[in-house]
Structure formats: C-alpha cells, structure tokens
C-alpha cells in the first residue's frame, strides 16, 4: 500500500500526460490510501476541471461516482482526520519549520503527510515539490522516484 496525494490520485480519474505511470503504480498497489481531505479535494478538482472546460459537461459526476465505487470496492481506503492525525500534524509542522532552512509545508500537505504517518505508510505518491521535500525530511520513500 502507498499513500496517495490528491495531485496523483487525480491522474487516475482525470488523465494527464503522465497518468500512465500512475495507472501502472495503482495497478501494482493492493490498496490506495488517502485522507478524507483527499476525497474533498478530488471533488473540487473534478468540478473545477469541468467548469474550465477541461472535461465535458457532467463529467465531474461520472468521475466522482467512479471514485465512490472504488472506495466502496476497497480499492481506495479513506483515513479519517482524528486526534492521532492532529498530533502527527503538529509534529510535522514543527519539524519542517524548525529546520534550517525551513521547509514551507502547506497546511493541507502536512495533513496528508500526517495521515500517511498515522496509517503507517512508508511510501508517498505525490508530485508536489514542497510536499515531496517535507516527505523526504520525514523519511518517506517517494513515487515517482
């Protein structure tokens, strides 16, 4: 299992030029782990892409229905935001911002990293540069490498 950031999870449902590598990665992972936050972010991404004309009108509902089906089938596991995530979040923020020079990890990225830690995941699937930098500091392995 691997923890997937929304930036990469979206590539499975809203294809981009680099999606094939992530589709292959997903095929090799028994379960994709995400935060409840990732589910909310996916809804925003799908509707934003539809409103910008990047996907056809009505596609957001179809995409989100497929995501819900994959969750129901157990292919995607959603971890809830709870006090364990909050404690981990606080530690991650302190670690990143007390480093010299500090890593300017954003709030939602730190929530994703905290959720991955609480889930016990060792690998983070993400493309965001700042999130990847924080993940390296925290000891995660990264995909893509």
Task: Find, among 104, 116, 94, the residue nearest to 5 by Cα.
Answer: 116
For 2-143, give the CATH class: alpha beta
pLDDT in tens, 107-142: 999 999 999 999 999 999 999 999 999 999 999 999
pLDDT at 1 over 90: no
pTM for the model: 0.93
* Full DSSP string of 106-139: -HHHHHHHHHHHHHT--EEE---HHHHHHHHHTT
Residue ranges covered by each domain of the chain: 2-143
């Amino acid at each position: 299992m691997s923890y997937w950031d929304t930036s990469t999870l979206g590539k499975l449902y809203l294809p981009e030029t680099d999606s094939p590598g992530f589709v292959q990665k997903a095929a090799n992972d028994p379960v994709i782990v995400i935060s409840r936050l990732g589910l909310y972010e996916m809804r925003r991404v799908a509707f934003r892409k539809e409103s910008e004309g990047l996907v056809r009108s009505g596609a957001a509902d179809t995409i989100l229905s497929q995501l819900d089906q994959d969750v129901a089938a157990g292919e995607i596991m959603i971890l809830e935001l709870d006090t364990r995530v909050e404690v981990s979040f606080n530690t991650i923020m302190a670690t990143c911002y007390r480093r010299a020079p500090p890593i300017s990890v954003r709030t939602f990225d730190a929530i994703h990293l905290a959720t991955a830690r609480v889930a016990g995941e060792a690998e983070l699937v993400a493309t965001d540069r700042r999130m990847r930098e924080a993940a390296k500091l925290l000891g995660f392995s990264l995909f893509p490498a």
